[in-house]
C-alpha cells in the first residue's frame, strides 16, 4: 500500500474514533435566578413613565424619564402603511403620567410594567366588542383607531394598580413575606377588604382630567397634578399599604389627595 494512502487511513480511523465518542455534559441545565447580577441601578422599577404621542395618542411605557428609541419602537406595532414611524421623534412625545411605587418595592413596579405591556398588546390584538365596528372601517381608519391607546392605557393603569391580572404583585399576599414590613391593620384576614392588601401608589398626571378615562380607581391609588422634574429625582413618600376607613365605591370623580 502506498505509504501516503496508509497515513490517510490512519488519520481517518483516529478521526472516526474521536467523533464516535460523545462528551458527557455535567453542567446543570437550570440555574437559580440571581437578580442582583442584572446590573439594574438602585431604585429600578419604582417609577413607570407613560409617554403619549401628541398626534396619534400612541402609548409607550418606560422605567426612565427619557425615551430609548430602540426600546420604544418595539412597543409601537405595525397597524398599517405609514402608521408606524420609521424613527422616533421625541418632539412628538410627551410624558402623560408617572407612577411612583414605595421605595424598595421596585419588583412590584417591574411586575406592573409587565402587566401594562401585556394589556397594551391585548388591546392591539383582541378587539372584543369592537370587532365588528373595526371590520367595517377601512384599513387606514382601523389602524388609526388601534394606535389610539390613551384611554385604554389609563384604564389599564387603574386595573393593574387594583391588583388585576394573574400573578399581579400589587397584592401583598403575592409578595415575598421577607419584603413585607408593614402589617395590615383593621378588619384582619376575614375583613374581605382587598384594597387594604394592596401596595400604595401615587400617579402624577400632566393633565389631571386624564384619570377620568378609567371607570373607577382603587383606594390604594393617590393622584397628584403635575409631573416631577425630568432632570431631578425627588424623594417621593408613598405609603406601602392603604387602609380605607370604610368601604368606598370610587368613581370617575374620585377625590384628589394632596
Using one digit for the tens of pLDDT, what is the confidence trace for 101-134? 998 888 899 999 999 999 999 999 988 888 899 9
* 171-to-158, 240, 253 alpha-carbon distances in Å: 14, 11, 24
Q: How confident is the model at residue 1 (pLDDT cuts 50, 70, 90)?
A: low
Grid cell locating 132: 365588528
Residue 80 is predicted with a pLDDT of 87
Q: Is 201 exposed, middle or buried (0-12, 13-18, 19+ CB in 10 A)?
A: buried
CB 119 within 8 A of CB 168: no
- Which pLDDT score is estimated for 82? 87
* pLDDT-above-90 percentage for the chain: 42
Residue with cell 411605587: 101
Q: Are 227 and 208 in contact (CB under 8 A)?
A: no
Q: Which residues contact 56 (CB under 8 A, 6 or more apart)?
A: 83, 144, 147, 148
Length of the chain as a residue count: 258
Q: How far is CA 212 from the centre of its chain?
A: 21
Residues in contact with 106: Cβ distance below 8 Å, sequence separation at least 6, in sequence order: 40, 43, 44, 45, 46
Choose between 16 and 205: higher pLDDT: 205
pLDDT in tens, 208-255: 999 999 999 999 999 999 998 754 444 445 545 543 434 444 444 443
pTM above 0.85, yes or no: no
Domain ranges of the chain: 41-225
Which residues fall within 8 angstroms of residue 20, CB to CB, at 6 or more apart? none
**Are the CB atoms for 107 and 45 separated by under 8 Å?**
yes
Amino acid at each position: 500500500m502506498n505509504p501516503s494512502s496508509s497515513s490517510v487511513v490512519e488519520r481517518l480511523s483516529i478521526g472516526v474514533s474521536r467523533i464516535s465518542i460523545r462528551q458527557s455534559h455535567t453542567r446543570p441545565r437550570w440555574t437559580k435566578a440571581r437578580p442582583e447580577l442584572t446590573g439594574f441601578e438602585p431604585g429600578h422599577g419604582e417609577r413607570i413613565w407613560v409617554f403619549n404621542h401628541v398626534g396619534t395618542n400612541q402609548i409607550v411605557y418606560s422605567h426612565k424619564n427619557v425615551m430609548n428609541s430602540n426600546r420604544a419602537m418595539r412597543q409601537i406595532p405595525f397597524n398599517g402603511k405609514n402608521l408606524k414611524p420609521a424613527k422616533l421623534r421625541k418632539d412628538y412625545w410627551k410624558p402623560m403620567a408617572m407612577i411612583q411605587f414605595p421605595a424598595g418595592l421596585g419588583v412590584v413596579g417591574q411586575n406592573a410594567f409587565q402587566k401594562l405591556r401585556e394589556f397594551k398588546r391585548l388591546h392591539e390584538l383582541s378587539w372584543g366588542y369592537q370587532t365588528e365596528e373595526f371590520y367595517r372601517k377601512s384599513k387606514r381608519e382601523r389602524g388609526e383607531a388601534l394606535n389610539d391607546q390613551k384611554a385604554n392605557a389609563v384604564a389599564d393603569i387603574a386595573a393593574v394598580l387594583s391588583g388585576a391580572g394573574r400573578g399581579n404583585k400589587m397584592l401583598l399576599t403575592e409578595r415575598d413575606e421577607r419584603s413585607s414590613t408593614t402589617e395590615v391593620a383593621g378588619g384582619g384576614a376575614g375583613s374581605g377588604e382587598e384594597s387594604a392588601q394592596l401596595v400604595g401608589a401615587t400617579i402624577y398626571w400632566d393633565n389631571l382630567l386624564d384619570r377620568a378615562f378609567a371607570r373607577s380607581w382603587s383606594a390604594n391609588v393617590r393622584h397628584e397634578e403635575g409631573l416631577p422634574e425630568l432632570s431631578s429625582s425627588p424623594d417621593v413618600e408613598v405609603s406601602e399599604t392603604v387602609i380605607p376607613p370604610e368601604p368606598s365605591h370610587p368613581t370617575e370623580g374620585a377625590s384628589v389627595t394632596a
